[in-house]
């Protein structure tokens, strides 16, 4: 075996200090000498590190980073270097399965697709297409999402389609829309190379995007390091590196951010000329945050006033700033409201659209950006506005269908509502694609019950017999990354191509081929009676997507497979105006908030109520951004006498999502084989718990048991990683989401995984 370093022990690799260009270092891990290398990019997080897949004898034998790529400059982290082993796992699904007499048994593709189509038609004819729902993913390719989006919107005409991105990045999209009028990451990873200060808010980047963290560490090791502020209730590896670590109580992000904004304003650290020219809403923001002096923030959040003031001093005076956010904001209380306040920090100081100044409302999953762009999360493709008749007309023209079939009478159905409709019986066919809600959704006992309902036909499309697939009526085996060709986009808008390197096992098919077959068998037609889906392979699907994206903020029209091949990924928008892509958005300080162009008309951050087109137009945004204010509201469930501790869930560095792939890579699974319960030393002493003791954690919804891990967390808080389900260990209840709560952010509809009330005891 050749390995450039042991990434399990040395997660981020040795330091290569830099200011400006990040040095190239090619990380690799190969088990046998490859006969050929095939261009691809990593799909184990949203960073999108470019890599080549090593192939020998028709099998994947290793990977190496692509030094030429702008995203990772050749670096790879532990998941990128190891998780490909899952492709070679002996327990891959190789034939479709159908439930007969309570058992899943093998069947043919013809029978499986025939059953799916017969059920779809019967349900559509009897109950309308509104009885068919799709719950998809953040892990397939643009070509697949777009095809799925067209099937749902112009073939069936169902509003019930969403991705598991609802659990992951829905708040990123919502906050960008609320502030700027449209989704799209303003910043670029290159901003980290030159910035003077970094804010990681609710983003344990050291564990979730290890290569990006290596880039930050390399800046921190340079002679001119950026100041670093980290906000996290746990003392993570990210927090340990910080100059200032703020550890607020669960659910208090908005109070903390309002305190920071108040200090910026009261200290005179506002660029008033910028605010006047480029924003709307300063007066209301000023009034709202004025209620949050540092002393009150300390009472509510537990963050000492002095620490808050020190952080505000950096944020108020730094000439450039990069902020990143992730699940500590998105999955917590008032998610969109909090994420908007980070946008506000940048707008008050005019720190956006300039080298070294950018916002990265991070994504979690590798291709979740594309779920949002291509219409697979329910929104109209190309960041089009369901509320804008001209946007609907434009799509109807592109697809050559009647406008009436495209669902646009109201907002698309979000995932939590899709499961509720399935529970209530109005959705009767639920097609789950490349995701595992039986481990990842909140309140798992409820989810299992829904998936087992007699009147719900559950289709699961996956490469493994996951906990969800085990409950399905029909299982369609899929090809994984490396076994199919397609494109995807990372957090900083970089589009990569991933070529097929090896054949999928047995009869497994690509997600694209399954969708194309379904569309053919359903006989979806356009207005002229010709087939609705006019593409037949990945490249022709990408060309169709380019037509749909043209003229929109996520414009791919200048990208081709050929241009993505051989060199670096390309950042959208890439079109006639920006033939080489676009490093950062909003360099002209003009935001996509024009009513004819914007993606949505905004919401009340407290209630989630949609603004009407008329209300929105009355702001006369004219390319300005919105400084949306929000006052703090306490979380709906809080510790009490019965359940006295805060509970939150999260990630570990060695695993991705529900471990479907990472648990099948020996080194990753060996490094993190089981769940754990993280407690503060104070709480451990109070409950008589020692390191490694088995601890039962119980909420009003369920319980789990896992070994104790003591330290690096605030007293009163309990943390459990969410990756662990039951396919490889059904002995004890250990899934973190047995305990979480069925509630969600009013704007982004992202469920709450970062707060619940629990009690613990030593088992
Ligand atoms: S940082 Fe993310 S994309 Fe890069 S190698 Fe690690 S898991 Fe893969």
Residue nearest to atom 2 of ligand 1 (CA): 45
Confidence category of residue 85, pLDDT binned at 50, 70, 90: very high
Output the pTM of the full model.
Answer: 0.97
Distances (CA, A) of 224 to 60, 71, 414, 438, 614: 41, 22, 45, 47, 49
Kindly give the distance from the C-alpha atom of residue 4 to the centroid of ligand 1, in angstroms, as a whole number.
Answer: 16
Residue pLDDT, tens place only, 344-397: 999 999 999 999 999 999 998 999 999 999 999 989 999 999 999 999 999 999
Ligand 1 atom with minimal separation from the 51 CA: 5
749 closest CA partner among 164, 146, 137: 164
Distances (CA, A) of 63 to 189, 195, 258, 367, 496: 23, 31, 45, 20, 16
Pocket test for ligand 1, best of 29, 69, 209, 651 (most atoms within 8 A of CB): 209
Tell whether the torsion through CA atoms of 134, 136, 140 and 146 is positive or negative. Answer: positive
Across residues 35-51, what is the average pLDDT? Answer: 98
Kindly give the distance from the C-alpha atom of residue 437 to the centroid of ligand 1, in angstroms, as a whole number.
Answer: 23
At how many degrees (to 10) do helices 253-266 and 335-349 cross? 20
Confidence category of residue 2, pLDDT binned at 50, 70, 90: confident
| pLDDT at residue number 715 | 95
Q: Is the pLDDT of residue 205 over 80?
A: yes
Kindly give the distance from the C-alpha atom of residue 728 to the centroid of ligand 1, in angstroms, as a whole number.
Answer: 24
Give the phi and the psi of residue 433 in degrees, each rounded to 5: -120, 115
Task: Read off the tokens for 541.
Answer: 């699907």
Pocket test for ligand 1, best of 12, 27, 47, 326 (most atoms within 8 A of CB): 47
Q: What is the mean pLDDT of the chain?
A: 97
DSSP codes of every residue in 580-601: T--SSS-TTS--S--TTT-S--
Kindly give the distance from the C-alpha atom of residue 493 to the centroid of ligand 1, in angstroms, as a whole number.
Answer: 15
Kindly give the distance from the C-alpha atom of residue 71 to the centroid of ligand 1, in angstroms, as a whole number.
Answer: 10
Enumerate residues 6+ apart whose C-beta is below 8 A from 463.
Answer: 92, 93, 477, 478, 479, 480, 508, 660
Kindly give the distance from the C-alpha atom of residue 54 to the centroid of ligand 1, in angstroms, as a whole number.
Answer: 17
Ligand 1 atom with minimal separation from the 366 CA: 3
Confidence category of residue 222, pLDDT binned at 50, 70, 90: very high
Check residue 359 and report its DSSP letter. E
- Distance separating alpha carbons of residues 326 and 203, to the nearest angstrom: 5
Kindly give the distance from the C-alpha atom of residue 383 to the centroid of ligand 1, in angstroms, as a whole number.
Answer: 26
Kindly give the distance from the C-alpha atom of residue 85 to the centroid of ligand 1, in angstroms, as a whole number.
Answer: 15
Ligand 1 atom with minimal separation from the 72 CA: 4
Kindly give the distance from the C-alpha atom of residue 44 to the centroid of ligand 1, in angstroms, as a whole number.
Answer: 6
Ligand 1 atom with minimal separation from the 65 CA: 5
The radius of gyration of the chain from alpha carbons, rounded to an integer in Å, stands at 24
Confidence category of residue 19, pLDDT binned at 50, 70, 90: confident
| pLDDT at residue number 20 | 87
Kindly give the distance from the C-alpha atom of residue 50 to the centroid of ligand 1, in angstroms, as a whole number.
Answer: 9
- Distance separating alpha carbons of residues 406 and 631, to the nearest angstrom: 37
Ligand 1 atom with minimal separation from the 45 CA: 2
| pLDDT at residue number 88 | 98
Task: Read off the tokens for 347.
Answer: 């707008």
Contact indicator for 124, 156 with CB cutoff of 8 Å: yes
Ligand 1 atom with minimal separation from the 656 CA: 7
Ligand 1 atom with minimal separation from the 209 CA: 1
- Report the percent of the chain where pLDDT is more than 90: 98
Enumerate residues 6+ apart whose C-beta is below 8 A from 24.
Answer: 67, 73, 74
Give the phi and the psi of residue 287 in degrees, each rounded to 5: -65, -40
Pocket test for ligand 1, best of 27, 29, 77 (most atoms within 8 A of CB): 77
Ligand 1 atom with minimal separation from the 490 CA: 3
- Distance separating alpha carbons of residues 636 and 698, to the nearest angstrom: 18
Ligand 1 atom with minimal separation from the 81 CA: 5
- Distance separating alpha carbons of residues 680 and 716, to the nearest angstrom: 7
Kindly give the distance from the C-alpha atom of residue 212 to the centroid of ligand 1, in angstroms, as a whole number.
Answer: 8
Ligand 1 atom with minimal separation from the 79 CA: 7
In terms of phi and psi (left: phi > 0; alpha: psi -120 to 50; beta: otherwise), the region of 523 is left
- Report the percent of the chain where pLDDT is more than 70: 100
Ligand 1 atom with minimal separation from the 210 CA: 1
Kindly give the distance from the C-alpha atom of residue 368 to the centroid of ligand 1, in angstroms, as a whole number.
Answer: 14
- Distance separating alpha carbons of residues 5 and 22, to the nearest angstrom: 19
| pLDDT at residue number 378 | 87
Across residues 548-564, what is the average pLDDT? Answer: 98
Kindly give the distance from the C-alpha atom of residue 671 to the centroid of ligand 1, in angstroms, as a whole number.
Answer: 17
Ligand 1 atom with minimal separation from the 78 CA: 6
Kindly give the distance from the C-alpha atom of residue 189 to the centroid of ligand 1, in angstroms, as a whole number.
Answer: 14
Peptide bond into 600 cis (omega under 30): no
Residue pLDDT, tens place only, 170-199: 999 999 999 999 999 999 999 999 999 999
Residue nearest to atom 8 of ligand 1 (CA): 80
Kindly give the distance from the C-alpha atom of residue 82 to the centroid of ligand 1, in angstroms, as a whole number.
Answer: 10
Tell whether the torsion through CA atoms of 447, 453, 458 and 460 is positive or negative. Answer: positive
Using DSSP, state whether 513 is helix, strand or coil: helix
Residue with tokens 């996956």: 462
The CA-based angle 281-287-290, given to 5 degrees, is: 130
Kindly give the distance from the C-alpha atom of residue 151 to the centroid of ligand 1, in angstroms, as a whole number.
Answer: 31
Residue pLDDT, tens place only, 238-256: 999 999 999 999 999 999 9
Strands 279-280 and 244-246: unpaired
Q: Which residues line ligand 1 (CB under 6 A)?
A: 42, 44-45, 47-49, 72, 76-77, 79-80, 209-211
Kindly give the distance from the C-alpha atom of residue 737 to the centroid of ligand 1, in angstroms, as a whole number.
Answer: 25
Pocket test for ligand 1, best of 27, 29, 79, 84 (most atoms within 8 A of CB): 79
| pLDDT at residue number 154 | 98
Enumerate residues 6+ apart whose C-beta is below 8 A from 125.
Answer: none
Pocket test for ligand 1, best of 73, 80, 82, 360 (most atoms within 8 A of CB): 80
Residue pLDDT, tens place only, 572-597: 999 999 999 999 999 999 999 999 99
Ligand 1 atom with minimal separation from the 211 CA: 1
Confidence category of residue 571, pLDDT binned at 50, 70, 90: very high
Residue nearest to atom 4 of ligand 1 (CA): 49
Residue pLDDT, tens place only, 602-637: 999 999 999 999 999 999 999 999 999 999 999 999
Residue nearest to atom 6 of ligand 1 (CA): 77
Pocket test for ligand 1, best of 27, 44, 63, 665 (most atoms within 8 A of CB): 44
Kindly give the distance from the C-alpha atom of residue 754 to the centroid of ligand 1, in angstroms, as a whole number.
Answer: 24
- Distance separating alpha carbons of residues 38 and 41, to the nearest angstrom: 10
List of E strands, 147-249: 161-163, 197-201, 227-231, 244-246
- Distance separating alpha carbons of residues 495 and 578, to the nearest angstrom: 14
């Amino acid at each position: 075996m050749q390995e450039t370093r042991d990434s399990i022990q040395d997660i981020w690799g040795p330091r290569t200090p830099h200011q400006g260009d990040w040095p190239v270092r090619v990380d690799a891990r190969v088990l046998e000498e490859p006969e050929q290398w095939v261009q691809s990019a990593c799909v184990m997080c949203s960073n999108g590190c470019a890599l080549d897949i090593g192939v020998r004898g028709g099998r994947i034998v290793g990977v190496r980073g692509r030094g030429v790529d702008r995203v990772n400059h050749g670096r790879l982290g532990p998941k990128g270097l190891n998780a490909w082993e899952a492709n070679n796992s002996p327990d891959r699904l190789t034939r479709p399965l159908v439930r007969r007499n309570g058992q899943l048994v093998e069947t043919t593709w013809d029978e499986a697709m025939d059953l799916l189509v017969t059920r779809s038609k019967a349900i559509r004819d009897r109950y309308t297409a509104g009885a068919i729902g799709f719950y998809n993913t953040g892990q397939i390719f643009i070509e697949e999402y777009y095809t799925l989006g067209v099937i749902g919107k112009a073939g069936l005409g169902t509003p019930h389609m969403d991705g598991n991105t609802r659990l992951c990045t829905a708040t990123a999209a919502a906050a960008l829309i609320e502030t700027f009028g449209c989704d799209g990451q303003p910043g670029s990873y290159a901003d980290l190379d030159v910035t003077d200060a970094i804010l990681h808010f609710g983003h344990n980047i050291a564990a979730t995007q290890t290569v990006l963290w290596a880039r930050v560490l390399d800046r921190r090791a340079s002679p001119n390091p950026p100041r670093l502020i980290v906000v996290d209730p746990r003392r993570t590896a990210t927090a340990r590196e910080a100059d200032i670590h703020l550890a607020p109580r669960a659910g208090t992000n908005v109070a903390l951010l309002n305190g920071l904004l108040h200090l910026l304003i009261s200290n005179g650290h506002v660029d008033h000329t910028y605010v006047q020219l480029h924003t709307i809403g300063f007066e209301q923001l000023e009034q709202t945050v004025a209620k949050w002096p540092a002393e009150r923030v300390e009472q509510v959040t537990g963050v000492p006033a002095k620490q808050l003031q020190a952080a505000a001093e950096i944020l108020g005076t730094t000439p450039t700033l990069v902020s990143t956010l992730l699940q500590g904001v998105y999955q917590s209380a008032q998610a969109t409201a909090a994420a908007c306040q980070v946008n506000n920090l940048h707008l008050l100081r005019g720190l956006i659209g300039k080298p070294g100044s950018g916002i990265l409302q991070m994504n979690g999953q590798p291709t979740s950006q594309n779920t949002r762009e291509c219409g697979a999360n329910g929104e109209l493709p190309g960041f089009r506005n369901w509320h804008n008749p001209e946007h609907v007309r434009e799509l109807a023209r592109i697809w050559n269908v009647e406008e009436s079939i495209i669902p646009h009478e109201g907002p698309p159905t979000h995932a939590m509502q899709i499961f509720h409709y399935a529970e209530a019986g109005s959705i009767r066919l639920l097609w789950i694609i490349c995701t595992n809600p039986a481990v990842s959704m909140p309140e798992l006992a409820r989810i299992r019950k829904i998936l087992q309902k007699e009147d719900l036909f559950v289709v699961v499309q996956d490469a493994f017999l996951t906990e969800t697939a085990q409950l399905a009526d029909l299982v369609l085996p899929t090809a994984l990354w490396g076994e199919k060709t397609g494109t995807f986009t990372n957090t900083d808008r970089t589009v990569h191509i991933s070529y097929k390197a090896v054949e999928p096992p047995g009869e497994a098919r690509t997600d694209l081929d399954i969708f194309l077959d379904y569309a053919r068998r359903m006989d979806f037609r356009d207005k002229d009676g010709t087939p609705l889906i006019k593409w037949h392979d990945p490249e022709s699907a990408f060309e169709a997507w380019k037509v749909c994206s043209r003229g929109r903020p996520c414009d791919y029209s200048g990208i081709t497979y050929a241009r993505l091949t051989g060199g670096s990924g390309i950042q959208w928008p890439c079109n006639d105006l920006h033939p080489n892509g676009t490093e950062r958005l909003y360099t002209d300080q003009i935001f996509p908030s024009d009513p004819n162009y914007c993606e949505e008309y905004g919401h009340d951050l407290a209630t989630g109520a949609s603004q009407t087109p008329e209300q929105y137009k009355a702001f006369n945004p004219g390319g300005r951004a919105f400084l949306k204010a929000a006052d703090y509201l306490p979380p709906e469930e809080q510790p009490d006498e019965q359940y006295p501790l805060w509970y939150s869930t999260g990630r570990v560095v060695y695993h991705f999502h529900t471990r479907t792939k990472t648990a099948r890579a020996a080194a990753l699974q060996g490094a993190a084989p089981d769940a754990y319960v993280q407690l503060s030393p104070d709480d451990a002493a109070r409950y008589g718990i020692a390191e490694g003791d088995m601890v039962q954690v119980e909420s009003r919804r369920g319980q789990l048991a896992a070994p104790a891990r003591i330290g690096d967390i605030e007293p009163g808080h309990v943390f459990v990683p969410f990756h662990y389900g039951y396919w490889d260990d059904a002995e004890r209840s250990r899934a973190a989401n047995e305990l979480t709560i069925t509630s969600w952010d009013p704007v982004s509809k992202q469920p709450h995984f970062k707060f619940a009330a629990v009690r613990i005891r030593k088992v």
